[in-house]
Amino acid sequence: MVCNRSSLGAVALAATMSMALAPARAADEPRYPDLNGQWSRAHAHSQWDPSKPRGLAQQAPLTPEYQAIFAANLASLHAGNLGSDPQVYCLPSGMPRMMIAYEPMEVIVTPETTYIRVDHLNEFRRIYTDGRGWPAEIKPTFDGYSIGRWIDRRGNGRYDLLQVETRGMKGPRTLDADGLPLHKDNRTVVKERIQLDSANRDLLHDEITTTDDAFTRPWTVTRDYNREPHPLWPEFLCTEANNHIPIGKEFYFRSSDGYLMPAYKDQPPPDLRNFTPSR
């Protein structure tokens, strides 16, 4: 031991001072990963499974009934129709599709709740991590009701994985813009494993397993997000620039000069029975 008594005393004093200067902390607070900032999807395209091409090549494990629904929707899109994408009339993506993060995503971690905001269609999720169980009754929403649990896999006193289960969704929802369908019964259950990349702290992974009555088995995809070093946070307002006008069961376009237009060839005009006939 080469240190003399005064140096040991100085070390002890320094340690004590640094502890005193450190802010008071709740027992479980300094454990969370740094998920601050703006996250942009790492995938160039926005089909549900980013590892496969879009459309039928997604090889979704659909039941024959829902495979037929999907094929019919693709054919309708191919014919120039709007298909079954609820976003066309500004409905939110809901879960799990909102995790495509068409526009930037923000993750806000607090001990009781992790919030996920996605600017596209102005959605935010609350993932409750306060130890609660499922409520007796869930009022369905597009984003559902999410319960999460932080996991410390390495046993080093820091959480490195957020496990989430989401239920209580309502529809209509699809998995992507091609109309990849979820079952109309809305009994979808989504399980997620959200974690930073072990080698790159600016890369976030979300492994998403969707269980749905339109599927023959649970379907797992992984979506990745890059942290933006200099984020801008614009507003994306669907209704501000949406030129699709739903009237009854039909959709029409709004022309740039504000007139109603057909959305497809030979589309009849809307029924104006409630207006007084012009003289």
Partner 1 sequence: MRHPSLIVLIALAAASAMPPPAARALDDLSKYPDLKGQWQRIGPNRWESRENKAPLTPEYRAVYQDNLDRMEAGGVGDMASWYCLPQGMPMMMSLYDPMEVVVTPQVTYVLISHVNDSYRRIYTDGRDWPAEGEYERTFAGYSIGRWLDENGDGRYNVLEVETRDFKGPRVYDGTGLPLHHDNQTIVKERIHLDKSDPNILYNDLTVIDNALTRPWSITKKAGRVPNPRPMWQTAVCAENNSMVRIGKHAYYMSQEGYLMPLKKDQPPPDLRFFKPSPK
Site for partner 1 in 15-74 (CB under 8 A): 15, 17-19, 21-26, 29-36
What are residue 176's DSSP bridge partners?
A: none
CB 210 within 8 A of CB 218: yes
Within 211-240, the residues that bind partner 1 by CB under 8 A are: 232-235, 237-240
Q: How far is the CB of 193 from partner 1 (least distance, A)?
A: 19
Return the range that interacts with partner 1 (CB under 8 A); candidates 8-16, 47-55, 70-78, 216-224.
Answer: 8-16
Distance between CA atoms of residues 191 and 212, nearest Å? 11
Cβ contacts of 218-222, under 8 Å, gap ≥ 24? 219/49, 219/60, 219/61, 221/48, 221/49, 221/50, 221/51, 222/50, 222/51
When the beta carbons of 155 and 235 are compared against partner 1, the nearer one is 235
Distance between CA atoms of residues 180 and 74, nearest Å? 9
When the beta carbons of 33 and 179 are compared against partner 1, the nearer one is 33
Within 122-141, the residues that bind partner 1 by CB under 8 A are: 122-124, 126, 128, 130, 132, 139, 141
HSE on the CB side for 122, CA within 13 Å? 9
Within 98-117, the residues that bind partner 1 by CB under 8 A are: 108-113, 115, 117
Phi, psi at 39, each rounded to 5°: -115, 130
142 binds partner 1 (CB under 8 A): yes
155 binds partner 1 (CB under 8 A): no
199 binds partner 1 (CB under 8 A): no
